[in-house]
Amino acid sequence: MTTTSPEEFAALELLHQKLEQAATAADLVDVAYRVIDSPLGKLLLAATPAGLVRVAFANENHDLVLEQLAAKLSPRVLRAPRQLDPAARELDEYFEGTRRAFDLPLDLSLSKGFRQLVQQHLPEIGYGQTRSYKEMAEMVGNPQAVRAVGTACATNPLPVVVPCHRVLRTDGSLGGYIGGLPAKTALLELEQSA
């Protein structure tokens, strides 16, 4: 196994930056992505020209998530960190406790129908507040769809930014979370401490 020297790594990074610039200038990037550090571990951020399309926790396997984006959206996926600077900045501010709502354009095309409807309404739950799955079903006009609300939260492609972590079981217990229960607990505690 060969190792890359610091000089070789710097040269490769420069080459990637040139590739990113050329691909962006030629409008060849349909899905841009980057990975950021967060208090919850590494998060993959992906965006289309329409907006942020995916936030993925490390437990979701970032390589698999990128494969899924290539299959569902476009094979033209490129690591293009600068295109995700606004999302990275807003997430940093959120984790620092200085941001309570996100102002990013969102691309909800990974969800359809009722799931997308629920995900559109999740930001209505205020920072530091919670709702039950039943209350969410009522909020979207289908009080009998409690399980479907749970599925919509479990398949939310934009966790943290679209706050499905604020939805709990009727008895107040956590329910599930795509990033794992420790991540859901940490997000709720972060918002409660503000």
| Catalytic (active-site) positions | 164
Neighbours of 131 (CB within 10 A): 20
> Of the candidates 54, 31, 178, which has an alpha carbon nearest to the alpha carbon of residue 108?
54
Beta-carbon count within 10 A of 160 CB = 22
Q: Which residues, other chains included, contact 81 with Cβ-Cβ below 8 Å and sequence gap of 6+?
A: 34, 88
Two tokens, residue 86: 């606004």
For the chain, the first-to-last Cα distance in angstroms comes to 48
d(CA 78, CA 147): 36
Q: How many CB atoms lie within 10 A of CB 11?
A: 12
DSSP-derived pairing of the beta strands 51-57 and 167-168:
unpaired
Q: Please give the Cα distance from 165 to 179 (Å, whole number).
A: 9
Three-state DSSP state, 102: coil
